[in-house]
Chain A
Amino acid sequence: MRIYLLLLIFLAISMVGWSQKSTLSGYITDASNGEAVMGAKIVIPSLNMGALTNTYGFYSLTIPSGKYLVEFSSTLFPKEFREIDLSENLSFNFELGIKSQDFQEITISAKQGENVNSTKMGQIELDIEKIKTLPAFMGEVDVIKAIQLLPGVSSVSEGGQGFYVRGGGPDQNLVLLDEGVVYNAAHLFGFFSVFNSDAVKSVNLIKGGMPANFGGRMSSVLEVHMNEGNNKKFHVTGGIGIISSRLTIEGPLVKNKGSFIISARRTYIDLIMKAAIPDSSPFAGSSYYFYDVNAKFNYKIGDKDRIFLSGYYGKDVFSFKDKKGGFGVNMPWGNGIAALRWNHLFSNKLFMNVTSTFSDYMFKFGSQQDQFRFELASGIRDVGGKVDFSYFPNTRHRMKWGADYIYHTFTPSSVSAQSDSVVFNTGSAQKLYSHESAIYALDDFDLNEKLRLNIGFRYSMYQHVGPFTRYIKGDISKPDTSINYSKGDVLKFYHGLEPRLSLRWLLDENSSIKAGYSYNYQYVHLTSLSAVSLPTDIWFPSTDKVKPQQGWQGSIGYFRNFKDNKYEFSVEAYYKGMKNLIEYKEGALPGDNVNDNTDNLLVFGKGWAYGIEFFLKKSVGKFTGWIGYTWAKTERKFPDLNNGNIYPAKYDRRHDLSIVGTYKLNERWTFSSAFIYATGNTLTLPTSWYIQDQNLLYNYGARNSTRMAPYHRLDISATLYDKPTKKVTDKATGKEIQVKKNFRSNWSFSVYNVYNRSNPFFLYVDSNGNFSSGDFKITVKQVSLFPIIPSATWNFQF
């Protein structure tokens, strides 16, 4: 009820002064390829008013009727002006024309003041073109590694794709690829991202002050948008690297109306392994590879309707063979994501997007030893839909409302085992079914010249439904019992209100104070046995036993731009409270479903995190880059872990520093470097040892009481572009002239870990020898992953 009241109030406010105004609206596209330009700026300098385009390139601006000089620009395009007579509502689509070769010169001119003006807190957009110039591990341009360089974001481990935002867990990040949920954003045990940079258009990270249109995760939203495809001409882009190659083809389906893009990538580690392991080796046949394909189609049905179909499919396959030991492992895993979207313009002020999504993640592990076979499968499948409305009543208000729904099917673990013809009783595959839905409304509005508010509410609901068998474990003296639920039975219904608020108070033209509050429910959980992120980590839903995670975050920050907006500075402090977090019981091993449920292995607790982040960024000039520093602390308290005492989270890091710099020497050479320093991760190591029946056993100390050595690393890169033009003889005049080349290429050289630091990946306690021979020794060992790794990639496009 309260939501409707608030909506009415917003509508009433927006009605004020409606008369004698006209609306200028339309789509902004890139003239070279017809792609929608998101975040493009439309400004009426004489009124000092403006609007930004949404994800689909749509804008709407309601202003007093009259003749205006209108300015159009974006991060990649310089300002262009058009004289517009706005005597009545006008639909005005605009193609941003000349793409500047020197986009860095103008990046911030379009975004001028955004840092200070918007209500966005803890939100960072990264330009894919800029990410491509950063040093790339093994030559693979990686959006996740780029966001790990931002303050408040830390990587799970060396080279890992998992990331922690402001002390939250890696499952608390909502990763969206064209609005489809990505459950595992990693290839190769986490060293590479599933996002192929050639298919990516933009990356947006929200780490605090999450707007009400997002939900389902507690810590952050990472929105990755795919390119739409060139709707004017066919275009091929590709790259050949040391471990993988990629190829993208795009072009018009119907010129200026519809286009497609297909982007594929594959590694050739398996071919390298095949060459390296001779056929005579017992390990012959062991291999690893991954591939992924991104595809997207879009079509304009008319001026008011447009449809998009995006898809992603990627798979990793790891196999290990030991013929001598009669042992083999085969382990495939991967994601499939599809999203069908329909944009509709009800009026020049009301924009609607309807999305239906499908997301599937599966992991399989099969092993064979002689006649004994064992298989384990785990997965999650989502089918969902959502509808979002954007309403632009006037320049003071930007409203959104909508609803979403997902039907989840979880298979936390399904095990089968057999020896010859005897099939073992491993229990039937347990599936868990649930409905998750939410409604929301928000308004981003200017109360006065200084105060801008973004108020939103989200109401989320979740049902755990049958069929399901709940096993109740007896203790040693009592037998186990079970309860069977049929299809459609509701085992548990959770629901709750998630208020969101952020505000900006403009101190002067160049500085502002912002504050934010958000409350979130999260109904899915990632259960991890390990200290590092692995595909064996299992997604698990809320059940009658597992309550949804709940968390709130409050943050406050000071934002300032210097030197004519060339420098942006911000400092943000946050506190985050979390409850109903899950962990495995001490010593738990998931694996079978014999009269048991996975959630019987879980324990529940709470956590909190606080910190302060400093960010200084220079986006203009030959030299660009940023410095980010975070001081943070994050702790957990579980009654059933660590004797109920508070312990640091495994990714509790006091200091995190990243320095990123890019220097554009000339048209052909660009140099980049990135340095990171982070306090070492925590882990639990044995404090003592003892002997039982001649076996050496360990006794572990307090959870996460040991800290690894600090992590630091320097990466550098250089990109050499070919000459953009070539000389040809003009047939008409016979003179030599310079023309643009159709075929363009560049070489990208990177060096990872320049000073070859042995950073700790993990530590373990090792023992060797035996007592009776007097050479027994226990040592603590540190494993490091990547030494200095140079790489080169050749990229091309035509």
Chain B
Amino acid sequence: MQLGIFNFNMKKLFLFLPLILLGFLTSCSKEVKIDIPGYVEQLVVDGSIQTDQPPIILLSNTQDIYAPTNFTAYLNSFVTGAIITISDGTNTVILDEICTDNLPPGTESFAAAVFGIPVDQLVNLHLCAYTTFNTAMWGQIGKTYTLTISNEGKTYTSTTTIPQPTALNSMVWHPAGGFLDYGYLTGQLSDPVNEVDSYKWEIKRISDPMYSKPFNPFFNDQFFNGLTFNFETQNPIEDMSTPPQYKGYFRLGDTLILKMSKLGRKEYSFFDKKFNQIYSAGSPFATPLNIPTNITGGAMGVWVGYSPWYDTIICE
């Protein structure tokens, strides 16, 4: 089995048939302008905390479906000036607002990855995230973190817990059939019994600044709870220098860092439904799906705690 498949989740295969049909059908589509009533602006929270890392929170507002979609509109959708606190039950910290036009040295590439904007453009923009340099509020396994956001007179709250990590039994490189220099990874996972386990999967070459992830990096143990099984995985790293025939394979001689994070069941539900929506959005064959949130107070989005487990693999 390939990891890409169980990311794909068997349920979504059920949606695949309609998508094939959709492919045939959308060939005869045209743009229309019809009335879509009911837009209300809502706050969107995109927050995470992981072991040994500071919390990072981005705030934005939802946009009307017919609102302008140019770059300025995107920049204007971010929310600044909110008051955000995080509590671990003992300590409470007010987060700092860090903006891209005033980034602490060494954080540029990280910020570029968070916003998806190249560094040279980013430093000329005013986009802000909320975080803290107080290491007392950096993520610790087993702790529960409460997020409180005050914005324009409204208060939003959420909690998340960093679960225990799970390690892979093994992860090794094999040459792919027909290639000498490129191959795939095979791994073995023993899923813990008697609990619902949710995972996030990322990988990078040791020299890469940031991790790469498959289109949907999330999966859970619905179909393999308590099982030990082998799987194959493809390379999600986008590299223009890789010849097209080797796309999806790992190069001989590379050193890879694998990051497999665990997350809570409720938080997983956000990502599961999010990718369900991405797979089926617009399809008439699926019910319209609003993504659930673990934020109270009328906001959208997620506040998630991750506990990563790392492995170094030398492709040899």
Contact = CB atoms under 8 A, between A and B. Distances in A.
A530 B20 CA distance: 15
Nearest to B264: A476
Interface stretch (B57-65, B96-104, B134-142, B202-210): B57-65
Contacts of A588: 287
Interface string B283-316: 1111111111000000011100000000000000
A771 B74 contact: yes
Query: Among the interface residues A320, A367, A695, A785, which one has the most CB atoms of the partner chain B within 10 A?
Result: A695
Interface string B1-17: 11001000011111111
Interface string B106-145: 0000000000111001000000000000000000000000
Given A587-B273, A776-B69, A699 B300 contact: yes
B118 A772 contact: yes
Contacts of A766: 29, 282
Nearest to B32: A782
A703 B38 CA distance: 10
Interface string A360-380: 000001010111101010000
A764 B283 contact: yes
Contacts of A787: 28
A701 B30 contact: no
Contacts of B291: 697
Nearest to A416: B10
Interface string B199-234: 000000000000000000000001111010111000
B154 interface: no
Contacts of B278: 695, 697
B172 interface: no
A44 interface: no
A354 to B, nearest CB: 42
B89 to A, nearest CB: 18
Contacts of A778: 65-66, 69
Nearest to A587: B289
A698 B29 contact: no
B14 A590 contact: yes
A687 B33 CA distance: 13
Interface stretch (B39-47, B163-171, B254-262): B39-47
B18 interface: yes
A591 B70 contact: no
A189 interface: yes
B222 A594 contact: yes
B17 A329 contact: yes
Given A419-B5, A424-B223, A785 B28 contact: yes
Nearest to A695: B278
Nearest to B289: A587
A387 interface: no
A506 interface: no
A782 B30 contact: yes
Interface stretch (A161-169, A202-210, A235-243, A678-686): A678-686
B74 A691 contact: yes
A689 B65 contact: yes
A501 interface: no
Contact of B227 (A425, A688, A707): A425
Query: Among the interface residues A329, A534, A689, which one has the most CB atoms of the partner chain B within 10 A?
Result: A689
A193 B206 CA distance: 60
A588 B278 CA distance: 15
B36 A592 contact: no
Contact of B5 (A369, A425, A584): A369
Nearest to B48: A693
Contact of A367 (B16, B28, B229): B16
Contacts of B277: 697-698
B34 A763 contact: yes
B31 interface: yes
Contact of A591 (B1, B11, B65, B265): B11
B1 A420 contact: yes
A476 B161 CA distance: 14
Contact of B21 (A189, A777, A784): A189
Contacts of A781: 26, 29-32
Contacts of A687: 36-40, 64-65
B276 interface: yes
A320 B12 CA distance: 17
A794 to B, nearest CB: 29
A688 B77 CA distance: 12
A766 B25 CA distance: 14
Given A426-B223, A591-B14, A594-B222, A697 B274 contact: yes
B71 interface: yes
Interface string A34-46: 0000000000000
Contacts of B118: 772
B62 A689 contact: yes
Given A776-B70, A783-B28, A589 B14 contact: yes
A536 B42 CA distance: 35
Interface residues of A, number: 83
A422 interface: yes
Interface string A704-733: 011111000000000000000000000000
A417 B12 CA distance: 13
B266 interface: yes
B152 interface: no
Given A697-B274, A764-B284, A780-B31, A774 B71 contact: yes
A762 B284 contact: yes
Query: Among the interface residues B10, B225, B273, which one has the most CB atoms of the partner chain A within 10 A?
Result: B10
Nearest to A424: B223
A783 B29 contact: yes
B281 interface: yes
A3 interface: no
A780 B33 contact: yes
A690 B65 CA distance: 10
Contact of B39 (A419, A701, A764): A701
Given A536-B14, A587-B290, A690 B63 contact: yes
Interface string B151-179: 00000000000000000000000000000
A513 B289 CA distance: 48
Contacts of A417: 10, 223
A420 B2 CA distance: 11
Contact of A426 (B10, B40, B274, B287): B10
Given A586-B289, A688-B62, A764-B283, A329 B20 contact: yes
A426 B74 CA distance: 42
Query: Among the interface residues A376, A683, A693, which one has the most CB atoms of the partner chain B within 10 A?
Result: A693
B274 A692 contact: yes
A397 to B, nearest CB: 51
A766 B223 CA distance: 32
Contacts of B231: 419
Contacts of B289: 586-587, 700
Nearest to B279: A589
A439 B225 CA distance: 49
Contacts of A587: 273, 276, 287, 289-290, 292
Interface in A499-542: 529-532, 534, 536
B243 to A, nearest CB: 17
A415 interface: yes
A7 interface: no
B239 interface: no
Contacts of A419: 1, 5, 231
Given A370-B5, A424-B223, A772-B118, 9 more contacts: A422-B227, A425-B223, A591-B13, A689-B63, A690-B42, A698-B281, A699-B62, A708-B34, A783-B284
12 contacts: A372-B1, A426-B10, A534-B18, A689-B62, A691-B77, A707-B34, A764-B281, A764-B283, A765-B65, A776-B70, A777-B69, A784-B28
Interface of B: 1-2, 5, 10-18, 20-21, 25-26, 28-42, 44, 46, 60-66, 69-71, 74, 77, 116-118, 121, 222-225, 227, 229-231, 265-266, 273-274, 276-278, 281-292, 300-302
Query: 9 closest A-B pairs (Cβ-Cβ)?
Result: A764-B282, A419-B1, A701-B38, A762-B284, A591-B11, A688-B62, A530-B285, A587-B289, A684-B288
